[in-house]
Amino acid sequence: MQRTIFDSPILRHILPGLGRLMLRIFGWKIEGEFPDLPKYILIGAPHTSNWDFPVGIAICFARQQKVYWMGKHTLFWGPLGPIARWLGGIPVDRRKSNSLVEQMVHVYGEHERLVVAIPPEGTRKKVEKWKTGFYYIALGSQLPIVLGFIDFGRKVGGCGEVFYPTGDIEADMAKIRAFYAPIKGKNPENQ
């Protein structure tokens, strides 16, 4: 993976304080801890607004967590491209029918430590059901799924339980969705 902000020794010491300051200014709190695991899939839900990103980044900064994230390929064009990559962004071109699941399983297999945040909605718009790629990446990589959340209703974000997929996607998704049921996105009408 490319270098990120936490690869810089100076920023590694400045960013946690900056993340905590930003959360405090805007009235946010962190609940739960990032698990001490070398590799996992981090669900980022609900994803209903562009504001999810700065809140999520501030939480990662505050907890000194190196988390990669997948974003629409157009975010990586122009002058913002290097910044997005530096912040841990991985461009995804949704116009092409490529096996993103297989690619990510391969990427996880090549790294000793890797956390990728994936929004299961795949967009900020309202969707009828979640995309299941995150589940199949976890299953194919034999990795846990960490239930990360940003609750605009309570102004709290962080990590919930560590979930190990069983292969019974219907039962597993029901459990995962039950965890997110009380959590409110910035635009709850898009959940």
Question: Read out DSSP for 92-140?
Answer: E-TTS---HHHHHHHHHHH-SSEEEEE-TTSSSS--SS---HHHHHHHH
The radius of gyration computed from the CA coordinates of the chain, to the nearest angstrom, equals: 16
Q: How far apart are CA 156 and CA 154, in angstroms?
A: 5
| Structural domains in the chain (count) | 1
Q: Residue 17's pLDDT is what?
A: 93
Global pTM exceeds 0.75: yes
* Residues facing residue 31 across a β-bridge: 158
- For residues 131 and 147, the model is more confident at 147
Cβ contact 191:126 at 8 Å: yes
Q: How many CA atoms lie within 13 A of 48 on its CB side?
A: 16
Q: How far apart are CA 164 and CA 179, in angstroms?
A: 14
Cβ contact 58:22 at 8 Å: yes
Give the number of other Cβ atoms within 10 Å of residue 113's Cβ: 9
* 10 SS3 class: helix
Q: Residue 94's pLDDT is what?
A: 65
Q: Which domain holds residue 64?
A: 5-190
Q: Residue 122's pLDDT is what?
A: 59
Q: How far apart are CA 52 and CA 99, in angstroms?
A: 26
Cβ contact 159:32 at 8 Å: yes
Q: Residue 126's pLDDT is what?
A: 63
**How do residues 57-110 score in pLDDT, each as one tens digit?**
999 999 999 999 887 788 888 888 888 888 888 887 766 666 888 888 988 999
pLDDT at 125 over 70: no
The encoded tokens of residue 157 equal 């974000």
Lowest mean pLDDT among 39-48, 122-131, 149-158, 167-176: 122-131
Q: Calculate the alpha carbon distances from 152 to 96, 136, 143, 189 in Å.
A: 33, 28, 28, 13
